A and B are shown apart, each in its own frame.
Chain A
Amino acid sequence: MAEDPGKPDEASLIAAARQDPGEFGQIYQLYIQSIFRYLYSRIGSLPEAEDATAQTFLAALEGLGSYQHRGHFAAWLFAIARRKAADTSRARRQVPLENAEQSPAEGDILQQVIQTEQAAALAELISALPEEEHELIRLRYVAELSFSEMGRLLNRSEDAVKKSLYRLLDRLQGQLEVSHE
C-alpha cells in the first residue's frame, strides 16, 4: 500500500501510451487487479464488476489524451471507476462472505475458527458502515491505494485521510472487542 519503489515508472508508461496507444497494455496490467477488486467489492456482482472494469479501462484509454500527468494517475483512474460503479443501476449487494477469498489462518483448527469468526464479525461491522467510511476501507484495503492517492481521489489532504481511517479502525476495533466479550 505504501509507495512501491519497485513500481514501473508510471509517468513514462503514461507518456508512452499517449504517444502509442498500444502501450496502454502496461498501464492496464499495472491496475487491472486493483480496479477489479475495488469494483467487485463495491458492486458485489461479478458480471457487473467485470463490466464496470472493462468500461473503466475503455474510458481511460479514450480519455488518456486529456489526462495531465502530475503523479496522480491512480486517483484519476479510480475516479473513473467510482463513476462507473455509481452508474451501475442495480441494488448494491455486498459480496457474500462465503464467496470472499479468505487468507487461510495458520495454526490449529480452533485458531482458524476464531479468526474466521472475527473476520465475519468484522465484515458485518464494515458492511454496516456509512458509505463514506466504507469507501475508506475499500480504497485502502481492497484497492490498496496509498494515503496520498486516496487523498487526491477524495479531494482531501493525505493526513486528513489517514486520520479519518485510523479513527475508523480504532472504532471498529473497539466494536470488535465488545462483540467478543
Chain B
Amino acid sequence: MNDFAPSHQLEDKIHAAVAVPPARPEFVDRLHTDLMHRANMKDRKALRPFYMRPAWIALLAVITLLIGSTLIIGPRRVYAAMRQLFGYIPGVGIVEQSNGIRILAGPVSVEQSGITVTVEQVVADATRTFVAYSVVGIPSWDKSGVPICTDPPSLQLSDGSTLSFLGGGGGEIGPDKPFSFATNYIFPPLPADVRQVVFLSPCQMPAIQLNLILAPSDFATPAVEIAATFESSGPQYTTTTPMPVPEQTFPPAPNNPSTPATPTPVPHGSGLHLEQVVELDNAYILAGNFTDVGDLAGVLSVDEGTYPVLITAADGQPVSYTSRNDIRPAVELGGVWYWAYEIPKPVHGPLTLTLTSIPVHQENSVQIPLDVGKNPQLGQKWELNRTVNLGGYDFVIDDIAKVENGYSIHYHTNASVPDLSLIILVAGVDSTQGGGSSNRQPQEVLYSETINFDSPPTGNLTFLLILHKIVQLPGPWTLTWSPPGPRISTVAWSGD
C-alpha cells in the first residue's frame, strides 16, 4: 500500500507529457474579430425586438398568404403550394425555396504548392448558405514550424463585405490522408440577387470565384413540415435497497435486468422528445432529442456509449430507418442527445420509437458511520465485515484502521467483479492526500485505501464510499407518433 500525493516533479512531468502548442495569435485575433462582429449583430437584434431578416419577412408573407388561401381555395391546394415552399437535400438539410435556390454548377478547385482546395457544393436559400469544401495535401507544419492551412474560410460579396460562418464541421478524409479534410459550413443567407461570391480560402490559397446558378425546380426533394405531435413514456423503476446501510445518498443503479420497468408518461421529464417532422414524397424525417432534466439515476453521457433505437410499426414489426445527421439545431445544448431518422413510406402508424438504454454517469455511494473515539490509537482496528452494494456490485468492507495521519480501509470483492476501486472520504472533512492499492487473488481482489489529514478527525465519523462509473441505464423510453391521414399523398391534386 502506498500513501500518495503527487509531487511537483511528477506534475511537471505530466504537464510536459501532455503539453500542446498554444493557439496561434492569428487564429485568436481572427476568431475574436469574428465573435465581436457577431456580438454586434446580436446586440443590434436585441435592441430591435421586431427586427426580421428580409427573407423571413418574405417567408412570413408567403405563410400568411397560404393561411388566407386555405380559407379560400381549400387545404389540399394549399398543401400542394406548401410543397413548393420547402425542400430536403440529403447532406444539406431542409431548404426554404420560396425565392428559389442558388447552387454551384459543379465543384471548383484551386491548387497551389501541392495543396488543393475544392468547393464541392454551395446551396443558398433564403435562410442560409451551405458550403461544402475539402482541402487535400496539407503539410502539417511549414519549415519554420508554424502550422499553416488552418484559417476558416469566409465568403466575400461584390461590395467587399464578407460573411463569416455560423456553424458546421467536418473531419479528416480517411486515415490514409491524415492532412486532408472535408468540412461543411453554414453562412448567413446571400442577398437575393447575388449570383457571384468569392470563397476566401484557408491555407493562404488563391480566392475561388463561385458562380451560382438557379437550381432546377426539382433540385430539392419536395418536403412539408407537419405537426410534431407525439406521446412519450419512460421507465418507472422499482427501487430496491439491496442491503441495510445507514443511508444511500444516490438511488442504486437500476441495472439489474430483473428490475421491473413499467412505462409511465414523462411529458416533461427526461425522455424522448419530437421536435420536427418533415414529410417527403417517399419518407418522413423525424427529428428530436433525448433530454436529461436531472431525474435519471445518473447524468446523461452524451459523448459516450450508444443509443440503441428501435422503431416499430403498429403491428409491432421493426421498421427500417436511416439516421440523418444533416438535421441538427444551430446551437446544441448540454445534457441533450440529438437524433433524426428518415423512415421510408408507407408508414403503418402509429410508430413507436423505443430507446432500450442510455449511457449515464453514475456516482453511487453509501455512508458508514463509525465512532473511533476521542483518542484513537495508531494501529487500532475496527472490524466491520460489512457488505455494501454499489452499482450492482458487492464490496465487503473488512476493517478500518488508524494509521499515522489518518485511516486505512481494507475491502475486497469477488474476483468476478471488474477492477472498480472505491473512492473513500470522511464526510465533511478535507483530506490532504491518500492512496490505494489492489491485489488480485484467484478468488477475490483485495483493496487497501488510506486517507490522510492535516489533523485526523476523531469521534463519530461518517465514511463515504463512492463508486463512479458509466453504465447503460435500461429503459425503455418510448415515443409514439402517428403519421397524418390519407390526405398526404404524392398524386396530383384534382382540386376541391
Q: Which residues of B are found within 8 Å of A55, using beta-carbon distances?
A: 167-169
* B163–chain A nearest beta-carbon distance, Å: 14
- Closest Cβ–Cβ distance, residue A161 to chain B (whole Å): 9
Q: Mark A25-55, 1 if CB is under 8 A from B, else 0.
A: 1001100110011001100011110111111
Most B CB contacts (10 A, CB to CB) among A85, A91, A102, A141 go to A141
Q: With A33-B22, A115-B16, A160-B466 in contact, do A51 and B43 touch (Cβ < 8 Å)?
A: no
Question: Is A52 a contact partner of B19 (Cβ separation < 8 A)?
Answer: no
User: Is A166 touching B435 in the complex (CB atoms < 8 A)?
Assistant: yes
Question: From residue A147, how far is it (CB to closest CB) to chain B in Å?
Answer: 11
| Chain A residues within 8 Å of B303, by CB | 82-83, 85-86
A41 to B270, CA, bound (A): 32
B331 A51 Cβ-Cβ under 8 A: no
- Shortest C-beta distance, A40 to chain B (Å), equals 5
Expressed in whole angstroms, the Cα–Cα distance for A50 and B433 within the complex equals 37
Q: Are B169 and A166 in contact (CB under 8 A)?
A: no
In the complex, whether B491 has a CB less than 8 A from a CB of chain A is no
Chain A, interface residues (CB within 8 Å), range = 35 or more
Bound form: Cα–Cα A28–B434 in Å: 37
Q: Residue on A with the closest CB to B467?
A: A160
Q: How far is the CB of B231 from chain A (nearest CB, A)?
A: 27
CB-based contact B4/A169 at 8 Å: yes
Q: Is B73 an interface residue (CB 8 A)?
A: no
Known: A51-B183, A59-B331. A103 touches B16 (CB 8 A): yes
Question: Would A137 and B18 count as touching, CB distance under 8 A?
Answer: yes
Stretch at the interface among B34-42, B112-120, B400-408, B453-461: B34-42
Contact A160 B172 (CB under 8 A): no
Contacting residues, chain B, for A126 (C-beta < 8 A): 14, 17-18
Of the candidates B17, B22, B169, B423, which one forms a contact with A37 in the assembled complex, judged by CB atoms under 8 Å apart?
A: B22
Residues 9 to 45 of chain B near chain A (Cβ within 8 Å): 10-24, 27-28, 31-32, 34-36, 38-40, 42-43
Q: Are A83 and B302 in contact (CB under 8 A)?
A: yes
In the complex, A57→B423 CA distance in Å?
35
Shortest B341–chain A CB gap in Å is: 18
Main secondary structure on A side of the interface with B: helix
Please indicate the chain B residues that have their CB under 8 angstroms from the CB of A115 in the complex: 13, 16
Q: Is the CB of A21 within 8 A of B40?
A: yes
Residues of B within 8 A of A25 (CB): 32, 35-36, 39
Check B141 for interface membership: any CB of A closer than 8 A.
Answer: yes
Contacts of A57 in B (CB 8 A): 31, 35
B439 at the interface (CB under 8 A from A): no
Which B residues touch A132, using CB under 8 A?
470
| Least CB distance, B165 to chain A, in whole angstroms | 8
- Does residue A15 face the partner (Cβ distance < 8 Å to B)? no
| CB atoms of A155 and B363 under 8 A apart | yes
Chain B, residue nearest A93 (CB): B178
CA A95 to CA B16, docked complex, whole Å = 13
- Which residues of B lie under 8 Å from residue A120 when comparing CB positions? 17
Number of contact residues on B: which range applies? 35 or more
- Asked if B16 contacts A119 (CB within 8 A), the reply is yes
Which one, B89-97, B147-155, B475-483, is touching chain A?
B147-155
CA distance A87 to B303 in the complex (A): 8
Cβ A79 vs Cβ B18 within 8 A = no
Nearest opposing residue in chain B for A140, CB measure: B14
- Chain A residue numbers with a CB within 8 Å of B12 are 103
In the complex, residue of chain B having the shortest beta-carbon distance to the beta carbon of A17: B39
> Whole-angstrom distance from the CB of A1 to the nearest CB of chain B?
9
**Assuming A33-B23, A53-B23, is B4 touching A170 (CB within 8 A)?**
yes
With most chain B CB atoms within 10 A of its CB, the pick from A123, A163, A167 is A163
**Would you call B14 and A24 a contact (CB within 8 A)?**
no
**Cβ of B257 < 8 Å from any Cβ of A?**
no
- Choice from B21, B28, B31, B423 contacting A99 with Cβ under 8 Å: B21
Q: Quick check: B150 and A118 within 8 Å, CB to CB?
A: no
B168 — which chain A residues lie within 8 A by C-beta? 55
Inter-chain contacts of B433 with A (CB < 8 A) = 166
A102–B15 CA distance with the chains assembled, in angstroms? 9
Query: When A21-B43, A47-B181 are in contact, do A58 and B152 touch as well, CB less than 8 Å?
Result: no
Counting CB contacts under 8 A, is A63 at the interface?
Answer: yes
Contacts of B333 in A (CB 8 A): 63
Residues in B whose Cβ lies below 8 Å from that of A54: 31, 34, 152, 165
How far, in angstroms, from A30 to B135 measured CA to CA in the complex?
A: 31
Contacting pair A170 B2 (CB below 8 A) = yes
Contact between B172 and A36, CB atoms less than 8 A apart: no
- Answer yes or no: B211 CB below 8 A from chain A CBs: no
Contact yes or no, B363 A156, CB < 8 A: yes
Is the CB–CB distance between B19 and A169 below 8 Å?
A: no
Give Cα A58–Cα B166 distance, bound, in whole angstroms. 8
Nearest-Cβ distance from residue A83 to partner chain B, whole angstroms: 6
**Residues on the B chain within 8 Å of A13, using CB:** none
The CA-CA distance from A138 to B371 in the complex, in Å, is: 39
> Is B392 interfacial (CB-CB < 8 Å)?
no
- Could you jot down 26 A-B contacts, CB within 8 Å? A33-B23, A40-B20, A47-B202, A50-B150, A53-B23, A54-B152, A55-B167, A55-B168, A62-B42, A76-B334, A100-B18, A102-B16, A122-B14, A123-B17, A132-B470, A141-B14, A155-B299, A155-B361, A155-B363, A156-B361, A156-B468, A163-B423, A167-B435, A169-B14, A170-B2, A174-B2
A sample of 16 more A-B contacts (CB under 8 A), given A53-B31, A61-B38, is A28-B35, A47-B149, A54-B31, A55-B167, A55-B168, A62-B42, A83-B334, A90-B181, A91-B172, A91-B175, A99-B140, A126-B14, A159-B431, A167-B435, A170-B436, A176-B13
Task: Name the 6 nearest CB pairs between A and B, nearest first.
Answer: A90-B171, A21-B39, A36-B23, A122-B17, A170-B4, A86-B303
